[in-house]
Structure 1
């Protein structure tokens, strides 16, 4: 009876199904997508409807014909959470009138659809309809825009509001969004976003309606940093000329929370590698200056944005086999947006040359549009000087021209063999498959927030929420590694000498748990030098992986991740503010082999002193189990090196 009522409700909300339906089914038979003549796409899992999408990109589109085909791919995935992706699905090609078509794919991991056009003339999209209708009032995890006045202009960083869908706030939501429906979780994402605005949503009863930033008409500029922003817009969202595909609308479907962080649909649906050879791209860890406020101590010079300070950072990186140092904001005059000239206090060529002698490469920070305005000139100059890449910041929008800029930067930088780290950036959409020189993305409420957070901020809860949701979209530049750590009761706000929320082991675990091939060490070198044991743990953890598994966990509670590099395994876990004991089976290890284990756990006093930890070593095999206690806001790391 309840299912009949739910179905009746769905029909009222989303409109009656038409008589003629076309069906595509995932290889395992669990996920089924049905499209009717009104372009309503109904998705079911194990026979239960989980979402219906009213989809349209232009008025008056009608179905002309339908064809089907199989999808079976083996995707090489450099610098991703696993080395290779094998994925199979079934595709329905729906030919429409007016030169448009609709592709719908059903995978075991979820369902995706996109529009295409073969028009040779200019195509203007005034709006796209994507209404995601759910059959019942379900729990949802939603991240809202942080800019109420200009909701499409912000850094794509916020907590997740865990709420019933019907009680969602009247705010714009940025992706991903997760909704519990029909006994599974449906996570809405997008992939292959190119020359088109990214998708926002807004809740409307039991619907999530898509919304898009309008196409910019004029841009203006903030005096500080020279950052551009949209001053006025057109009445349409996108325009393009010639045949093209539009972004994939992805509904990832997961029966267990542990399936979420390893769902590969966003990466798999993106356009394949467009830059060719990737052998020159070198993932690695990076010593970072900004979070620790250049806060060196015990040195005989004034620390700050100057050559002496960065020579010290380079020496620290070299000693610990850290391949990169980033020069963040301040190496050029931001007030003048003068990217072509370092400030007088920085001898950039000296730093680059000294770093190369030490085996350390320099990465330079810049604002998106500032680099774009000098793109080839800057790339040519700084490539000749010897930099390795750019950390590019403050895009803070995802309209069509912003998305085009992001692709243009990645493509051009690849020509000069420069990698990029996109900060102040929208949720990733698989562009790191298309341009593998994009090593990392922000779009996450990361460690930088600890500099200005308040006591009531619940970072440990977020830390075990976003890997399930946000990490489905791609890697995260979370910037971990704090050596000053606070408990729930004694954490203090301190901008110039910041403190992380949670234990030391909570920080160490980030290096295993996060998809992050370019990972910062956020604290000051002189703080690390007093904690060499922790530095050695961090730097011993690989930056790329052959395999990733989520051993156990629940959104907002805790998570345990296991990753393989060659024959060695690394396990990391984190909990929210709840103290927790976990049992970990080592049945993923190769039978008959023994492993030298290094086990780093919260110390017995970590609930009082968050910096307390202990290390032990033992020999383990696939038949063993680990019993680990995580303190409040705690974590752990286990290294399993094959003997």
Structure 2
């Protein structure tokens, strides 16, 4: 009898252990527990030390032929494996990144005998997981639903951007990831858009922050978002609107034989963790592009931001080439309708002239087939591999260095494949790429380093259109380092130092605008200043912009709060640049300890009194400085 009881207890203990699998970060601060409930649904939870970051949340997928939503058994998990990776980026948050994580593959079988693996990698700053489902050779299927959810405690708060509804907006160009953020709202708050919320999505549970995104999208994948409704604080992954496709092509993920999903990523920790983490590129696919000599980060002049469509003419663009040259900037971007207002032959002439000024040209393209009604040209030249090859070869022969491609159709599988086809072909012809009216790039700049930047933000152009956007600019900009620009290059087109050439009144100070040149990350930074405006900027600030680094080696979070204010330090070689902006309507005073940077000299640039734009002074690099930023104000410190 005692023997039978002992066997029963042993079997019960084994069942209890095998019904739950744990994965911890190398520093043991983050813990993930994976289990199945009594209905056989796959569940997980996340803790950071004693703080519950995610309550019991859901996992699983459904295909057209297989269902892993319930009736699953947890078979077990592989032993913990250490993942060690180091990689360099040609542009981004920092040049060299080191990724270390603990990996376990948790294995499930459904009631029909089909197996599903969920691969977890937990680093000191992030939880990442992806699904892997294998079938026999020559088996084709598509994913119809993903059950992944993120179930936050009801005390948590959220900072989120609504997803734009397909076919809405100007010329039916949405979605384009271009809304203002809803800030500091209770979890469970319904999105004002039926399309849900975009990534990166920021949450706070007690004093622990979580930033949700995804990475490593392949041509068979669609991009996802969070659904509009989150009852009880549970946010579920949603798929794109059926209209977000290349006409006649696919919406949902497709696969042959094996399905491996993109990584679902939750960066976990403090605000410093969010700002300093490279999780979004850590989980991205490594680049296979061997020749990257043509990938040159830099800065660009750009006429359209101030003078719009009517000035895309030869003489105006030549003036902006001269402007870029005078500022020691590498590029000049020429926007819509250049093919009709300037023409290919004159553009070749302008490219030759720019080359004598050490400036390279970037040209605008309309991506569209029939998914929007935009009339801007060149249009429809990039839709097929054959037409792309012809156009890209022509541009290379003209001496053009890159393309800005605008107005994409959304996040469906066929659109994602279109993005990747463009990137692969651009690499063949050594062309740099800038996507506009586009999706979040989700780590693609690691996989395709010629992807210099992507819009996917309510950028400075909106400030030039409407006063309400100018009124919200400061708080909006103070959101972006914590969300949109956390991992991926962002073409906000920042830094209008003098004034907007329109009826709109810019509300930010010149020092605020200057600070964005350091705060915002973009492989090519397209500046929102004109030659005429720069004439009002003092020579010392112009020189600052001539010598401002194009890439960064290191990043440090100094202070801030999403939407309120942010102060970040970036290092290039032996210099540190510290930039801060105030997103609030009232002044903000901070204490900035410069001694930790161990530099001898420090220069502080702030707002000036009266009609001057800037004040500059030397400060003690070994002491704490008290800096007051006025409403919508900012500063820059240079240490060397």
TM-score by length of 1: 0.85
**Counterpart in the other structure of 1:44:** 47
Q: Give 2:450's match in structure 1, choosing from 437, 440, 443.
A: 437
CA contact (8 A) 1:423 1:442 kept: yes
Alignment RMSD, CA only? 2.5
C-alpha change, 1:396 and 1:548, in structure 2 (3 Å) is farther
User: Structure 2 matches for 1:281-292, cutoff 5 A?
Assistant: 281-292=295-306
**Counterpart in the other structure of 1:154:** 175
Shift of 1:635: 0.5
**Counterpart in the other structure of 1:458:** 472
Alpha-carbon distance in 1 for matches of 2:265, 2:60:
15
C-alpha change, 1:549 and 1:247, in structure 2 (3 Å) is same
SS in 2 for 1:314: helix
CA distances 1:186-242 after superposition (whole Å, capped 9, x unpaired): 2111111223111111232211121101666975xxxxxxxxxx5x787x7221224
Alpha-carbon distance in 2 for matches of 1:532, 1:320:
13
User: Structure 2 matches for 1:205-354, cutoff 5 A?
Assistant: 205=231, 206-213=233-240, 219=246, 237-255=252-270, 257-293=271-307, 304-333=311-340, 343-344=342-343, 347-354=346-353
C-alpha change, 1:344 and 1:111, in structure 2 (3 Å) is closer
Aligned length: 580
Alpha-carbon distance in 2 for matches of 1:355, 1:612:
31
SS in 1 for 2:597: coil
CA contact (8 A) 1:215 1:401 kept: no
**Counterpart in the other structure of 1:372:** 383
CA contact (8 A) 2:329 2:359 kept: yes
**Counterpart in the other structure of 2:374:** none
SS in 2 for 1:147: coil
Q: Give 2:198's match in structure 1, choosing from 167, 170, 174.
A: 174
**Counterpart in the other structure of 1:86:** 98
1:546 aligns with 2:553: yes
Q: Give 2:413's match in structure 1, choosing from 383, 396, 400.
A: 400
1:66 aligns with 2:70: no
Q: Give 2:58's match in structure 1, choosing from 30, 45, 54.
A: 54
Shift of 1:568: 0.9
Shift of 1:167: 2.9
C-alpha change, 1:264 and 1:631, in structure 2 (3 Å) is same
TM-score by length of 2: 0.85
Shift of 1:179: 1.7
Shift of 1:145: 2.1
CA contact (8 A) 1:388 1:418 kept: yes
Shift of 1:454: 2.7
CA contact (8 A) 1:361 1:387 kept: yes
Shift of 1:57: 1.4
C-alpha change, 1:381 and 1:425, in structure 2 (3 Å) is same
CA contact (8 A) 1:482 1:499 kept: no
Alpha-carbon distance in 2 for matches of 1:150, 1:292:
25
Q: Give 1:139's match in structure 2, choosing from 157, 162, 165.
A: 157
CA distances 1:485-510 after superposition (whole Å, capped 9, x unpaired): 4xxxxxxxx77465433100000001
Shift of 1:345: 9.5
Shift of 1:351: 0.5
1:602 aligns with 2:607: yes
SS in 1 for 2:178: coil
Q: Give 1:107's match in structure 2, choosing from 97, 117, 123.
A: 123
SS in 2 for 1:50: strand
Shift of 1:281: 0.9
CA contact (8 A) 2:44 2:57 kept: yes
Alpha-carbon distance in 2 for matches of 1:360, 1:252:
39
Shift of 1:324: 0.4
**Counterpart in the other structure of 1:183:** 207
Alpha-carbon distance in 2 for matches of 1:312, 1:23:
62
C-alpha change, 1:325 and 1:353, in structure 2 (3 Å) is same
SS in 1 for 2:595: coil
**Counterpart in the other structure of 1:617:** 618
C-alpha change, 1:294 and 1:315, in structure 2 (3 Å) is farther
Shift of 1:147: 2.9
Q: Give 2:592's match in structure 1, choosing from 584, 593, 615.
A: 584
CA contact (8 A) 1:199 1:212 kept: yes
Alpha-carbon distance in 2 for matches of 1:214, 1:48:
36
CA contact (8 A) 1:447 1:500 kept: no
**Counterpart in the other structure of 2:522:** 516
Alpha-carbon distance in 2 for matches of 1:39, 1:26:
21
Alpha-carbon distance in 2 for matches of 1:18, 1:452:
60
SS in 1 for 2:148: strand
C-alpha change, 1:182 and 1:582, in structure 2 (3 Å) is closer
C-alpha change, 1:218 and 1:505, in structure 2 (3 Å) is closer
SS in 1 for 2:311: coil
**Where does the alignment leave 5 or more consecutive residues of structure 1 unmatched?**
1-16, 220-229, 296-302, 334-341, 486-493
Shift of 1:243: 3.0
Alpha-carbon distance in 2 for matches of 1:555, 1:311:
40
Alpha-carbon distance in 1 for matches of 2:58, 2:256:
26
Alpha-carbon distance in 1 for matches of 2:245, 2:91:
37
